[in-house]
Amino acid sequence: MTEPLTILHLDCTMGQGGQEKDHIHEAVAFSKMGHRYVIAARPGTFLLRVAENKNMGLSVPLRSNFDLHSFRVIRRFIRENRVQILVTTSYIDSVLGWFAALSLGRKRPVVVRQRHLLNPPKRLIPYRHFCDFLVAVSDIARFGYIERSIPFWKVVSLPRGIPGPGEGKGPPPAIHPEFPEGARIVLQVGTFQRDKGQLSLLEAMLPMLLIHPALHLVLLGDGPLRGNLERRLSLERFRGVRSRIHLPGWCNPVPFYKKAAVTVISSFREAFSLVALESLVLGVPVVAFRQGGLPEALSWANWGEMVDPWDFPELSRRAVSWANRPELSCPEITRIRRVYDERYSIEAAAARTERFYRWALERKKAGRLGVNPYEIAGGRGDPFFPPLS
């Protein structure tokens, strides 16, 4: 029987979006496989609250790169629990985690930096020097780091997984929208921030809402730009359609997917869209910009379409075209769910990740961390990402 792993995952995040939910899904999946997985996060955050409810949370202040108290807590936990894999996510925890691990000498864990974003990092030092491996969530994100001269063998592409159809959980919406019979719902899901494109989508959808009285736009989420959205909606030009634009807040997205005619992804950049996968597996087509990791997340499904980046009027027109289809059922749903089971379920993602972790531990045992594992320097082999055929 293979020895269970002990994994400590650090993240100083304050949010509650897809990245944080992915951490929880991974932790639960690893626990079901018999491993011990602990998430260390800041007190009072969504991530720590959920992790503690599942008895896998560790409270760490993570105030700054020089937080000696957090350094000691992380180091003591690694030493006393014989942590084998230390996962870091953000800048503060990647610095504290690396030096806490390094201070343990030969007994240190393998340090894996996860990167869920496509945003260009301000500093490359943590990716080059403060981890043994960098795990990106898509090939396009992986190639971006290789182009920045990080060795190809140090950067691994591991797509994330999502819950099965209908398994999404979350609080009920504060105000549940009332949709009339025959309503055609255009759904957007994500944190309200600039790179998610909600403000531009709102403006582009206005003429569509004026022309098509059955259309409803649902912006599901919350975040820093909520006040901006609400002020925009209070303007006179939105008066005639305001009742058909809904901001339910953060809540379980599954009931909204089940009512949606189409999901629109208006992000300026996406490393790998979990929203796209969630939508597809419930039979809802996706209209998105052809950028970042979206082609990787969508091209296999053939249910929806991609448009040129930043063309919000065209994005809205195509979304409305899909929303106005006479027949809303998905003819591809059986194949989509088969691919989901094989590739994009949480269990499949956890199994991929476990294989990588065990390979990394073998590299450490052989004294080969930081060494090109391929016989030919500069070789192109990558055993971690499964073929898309």
Q: What is the CATH number of the domain that holds 56?
A: 3.40.50.2000
Segment 189-202 shows an average pLDDT of 94
Query: Does one domain contain both 334 and 249?
Result: yes
Q: What whole-number distance in Å separates Cα of residue 202 and Cα of residue 313? A: 10
Total tally of structural domains belonging to the chain: 2
Query: Does one domain contain both 257 and 210?
Result: yes
For residue 95, give every residue at least 6 positions away whose Cβ sits within 8 Å of its Cβ, in sequence order, or none. Answer: 65, 126, 130
| pLDDT tens per residue across span 208-266 | 999 999 999 999 999 999 999 999 999 999 999 999 999 999 888 999 999 999 999 99
Task: Confirm whether 248 is domain-assigned.
Answer: yes
Task: Confirm whether 386 is domain-assigned.
Answer: no
Compute the mean pLDDT over every residue in the chain, rounded to the nearest whole number. Answer: 91
The structure's pTM equals 0.85
Q: Of the candidates 340, 355, 382, which is a domain's last residue? A: 340
pLDDT of residue 389: 42
Of the listed ranges 1-5, 11-15, 67-71, 100-104, the one predicted with least confidence? 1-5
Q: How many residues does the chain have?
A: 389
Q: What whole-number distance in Å separates Cα of residue 305 and Cα of residue 217? A: 19
The tokens for 384 are: 């971690």
Reply yes or no on whether the pLDDT at 381 is more than 60.
no
Q: Are 19 and 92 in contact (CB under 8 A)?
A: no
Task: Confirm whether 143 is domain-assigned.
Answer: yes
Query: Does one domain contain both 128 and 209?
Result: no
Q: What whole-number distance in Å separates Cα of residue 146 and Cα of residue 154? A: 9
Which residue bears the tokens 């059955």?
214
Find the domain containing 137 and state its range: 6-161+346-365
